[in-house]
A and B are shown apart, each in its own frame.
Chain A
Amino acid sequence: MLADTLNQAGHYWTYVGVGYGAAFVVLTTYAVRTVRRGRKLSRRLPPDQRRWM
């Protein structure tokens, strides 16, 4: 109901906002998770093996 009202007034800005927001949140969450996991797991490897091949 609220979304319909907002969209009628703003010509679909709600959908646009949700789309851009979701892209930002998903990519940021995935990037942070990947970097954190890399930091955590690399500490478990001996330093001489952290050379990415």
Chain B
Amino acid sequence: MKSAPANSVALANEADQTDAGPGGERRAPEGTGSRGSRIVGCLALISLAATALYGLVLSPPDANQGNAARLLYIHVPTATVAYLAFGVTALGSAVYLWKRTEFWDLLAGASAEVGVVFTGLCLLTGMLWGRPIWGVYWVWDARLTTTLLLFVLFLGYLALRRVLVGSPSRAKWSAVAGIVAAIDIPIVHYSTSWWNTLHQGTTISPQKTQMGGLMLFTLGLGFLSFLLVYWWLMIHRFRLQYIESRLDEVGLDAAIAERRAEAGGAAPTPPAAGPELAEAR
């Protein structure tokens, strides 16, 4: 597997520029943070606070759904960010299969984990919205079922990455699984058009937007804040993924060195001979 060129890693290199010592010399970063990630984190916190303020206080209750509509200011953005995260995983997986550079594999893995968190939140907030509006937390409706399937598929993707740690084929098979799992994204998105569903269809489109001024603004604020949260989480998760990858390599190298030392120190034994056979000889 080839390493990515140093200038291709926008997510990764901020730490190099920011963690300089008093004399201007570079210091090794102590964690996954950097000046860039702190700026994104502050922006995310400010926008989340603004979303909570507008979502819970300033925006009016919906004429039909009452205060339950306030859940949509976090439910819809989490769903959109989950699409984005899994889209990045699919893109990273496809480019990995093409270029075979580690950067794309790490990007795909990091984005999948963040996407699973957002999908879990989307399902949870959707259930909490469904209980007062539909009368039940869950129905096996096409949109809900395909979203749950997406969640399970990417959990499986993450499990596959863990199972194959240390295997040279991990990145390849993970990339294939990432692309296959991402096929569900358009199915989730178009499920309300393709099937008769309890879940409502598109509310915002270029042709027709069925939301009023302040409510639309609050939803937009929700999109912005969850995108910033995704960006911040991706910076940290990508760097953590990189650290884990380096540690896996160090661990593998140490294990190989240990085995070589053992093989060099002990008397050679025929590989086919088990303990009983060796004793009989």
Q: List A residues at the B interface (Cβ < 8 Å).
A: 7, 10-13, 15-16, 18-20, 22-23, 26-27, 30-31, 34-35, 37-39, 41-45, 47-53
Contacts and interface: CB of A to CB of B under 8 A. Distances in A.
B191 interface: no
B131 A15 contact: yes
Given A18-B128, A39-B30, A11 B61 contact: yes
Contacts, number: 122
Contact of A42 (B16, B68, B71, B243): B243
B172 interface: no
Interface of B: 3-4, 6, 9, 11-13, 15-16, 28-33, 52, 55-56, 61, 66-68, 70-71, 74-75, 78, 102-103, 117, 120-121, 124-125, 128-129, 131-132, 229, 232-233, 236-240, 242-244, 246-247, 250
Contacts of B3: 53
Interface on chain B toward A: helix, strand, loop, or mixed SS? helix
Closest 8 CB pairs of A and B: A38-B32, A47-B28, A52-B12, A39-B31, A11-B66, A12-B68, A19-B128, A50-B28
The main secondary structure of chain A at its interface with chain B is helix
17 contacts: A10-B67, A12-B132, A15-B71, A20-B55, A20-B71, A22-B124, A30-B117, A34-B240, A41-B247, A42-B31, A43-B30, A44-B247, A45-B250, A50-B29, A52-B16, A52-B238, A53-B13
Contacts of B52: 20
Contacts of A23: 74, 78, 121, 125
Nearest to A26: B121
Contacts of B67: 10-13, 16
Contacts of B9: 52-53
A22 B243 contact: no
B117 A51 contact: no
B33 A20 contact: no
